[in-house]
Amino acid sequence: MLAPLDADLPAGLLSAVSGPNGSGKSTLLSVIAGRRPLSSGLCLVDGRPPDETSGRFREAVASFIDTPPLARDLTVREQLAVVGASWWADRDPWAGADDQLIALDAAHLSGRFIHELSAGELQLVMLALTCHRPSSLLLLDEPERHLDEERITQLGALLKHRAQAGTTVVVATHDHRLLEQADRRICLAAADRTP
């Protein structure tokens, strides 16, 4: 599912993984997130193998690979507050809940419930939720889904800003605008399609 790959993803850079369908972009992100073992080879995150059972590792790695479930009876802002409350015991859970939405130009969604969002708006909310939790490594699988051109540009700027702040950002994408904004590009080869 993933062709042999030798890559280094340095901290503080926005890295983009591209490649045709089935080349293993999502698999690569899952491996880095510690959710899928390697059949051979070695993957190190901060000098250690990905260990999903380690609390420190889970705190360091934020990923948006699968769609996170959302509570239908909470507004967008309250969803963010719940995530905040789960990570910062000594901080007001509402603090910073709007920051991610503002960065994605989605502040107008804060009072809405999930069923009131379009597909693109839902994608923005899930990106905001992922970016809201603390992380030193941010993994995003095709974050440009359902987004218009303007939002994709804003997303690229946000990810670039996160990378400059010290977070290692890895994005699997097909979008040329995100690829252009990336500091480092990794192009995966097409998978062997021999039946």
Partner 1 sequence: MNVRAMQRDEKAMHRLRLRRTRLVLRGLLRDGGTGPALYVGGILVVFGVLPAFWVLGELLAEPLHGVVRAGADRVALGASAVQALGLWAGIRCGPALMSPFSAHILMATGIPRAQVLGRAALRNMTLGTLLVGITSASLILSASRGSLEQGAAGGPTLLVVLASVVLGGQASLAWAVGQRVGPGAASGIVALILVLSGSATLWSPTILLTTGGWYGLLATGQVPTPADWMLLAAAGALTACAWVMYRALPSGLSSVPTTRIMVQAQRVESALLLAGGGDLRRAAEATRSPPRRHPPMRLGHSVQKATHRRLSAVSVGWRQDAAASLRHPGQALRSVVLLMAAGMVAGLVGPTTGYGGEDVVSGTAAMLALCLLLDAGLAGVSPGLRGLQEELQAAPLFGWSRRELTVRHGLWPVAVASPCVLIGCVVAGLWWPEHEGGIGAGGWSSLEAAAQGACWAVAAVVVMFSCRLLQEVTSRDAPLLGIPPVPTPVGDLTGVLLLLGSIRGVLTAAAMLGALAVLIHEPWTQVAATAVLAAVAALVSLLGAPLLAESR
Select the residue interacting with partner 1 from 13, 98, 113, 174 (CB under 8 A): 113
Select the residue interacting with partner 1 from 83, 125, 171, 188 (CB under 8 A): 83
Select the residue interacting with partner 1 from 90, 150, 165, 194 (CB under 8 A): 90
Q: Which is nearer to partner 1, 64 or 121 (CB)?
A: 64
Contact region with partner 1 (CB under 8 A), list: 55-63, 95-103, 146-154, 175-183: 55-63
61 binds partner 1 (CB under 8 A): yes
Distance (Å, whole) CA 112 – CA 17: 33
63 binds partner 1 (CB under 8 A): yes
Do strands 14-18 and 184-187 pair parallel, antiparallel, or not at all (unpaired)?
A: parallel
Contacts 24+ apart (CB under 8 A), 34-38: 34/61, 35/65
92 binds partner 1 (CB under 8 A): no
Output phi, psi for 77, to 5 deg: -65, -35
Select the residue interacting with partner 1 from 74, 107, 179, 191 (CB under 8 A): 74
CB of 91 to partner 1, least distance (A): 10
Contact region with partner 1 (CB under 8 A), list: 40-48, 65-73, 154-162, 170-178: 65-73
CB of 15 to partner 1, least distance (A): 19
Task: Report the interface residues with partner 1, using CB under 8 A.
Answer: 33, 35, 52-53, 55, 58-59, 61-69, 71-74, 78-79, 81-83, 85-90, 93, 113, 115, 129-130, 133
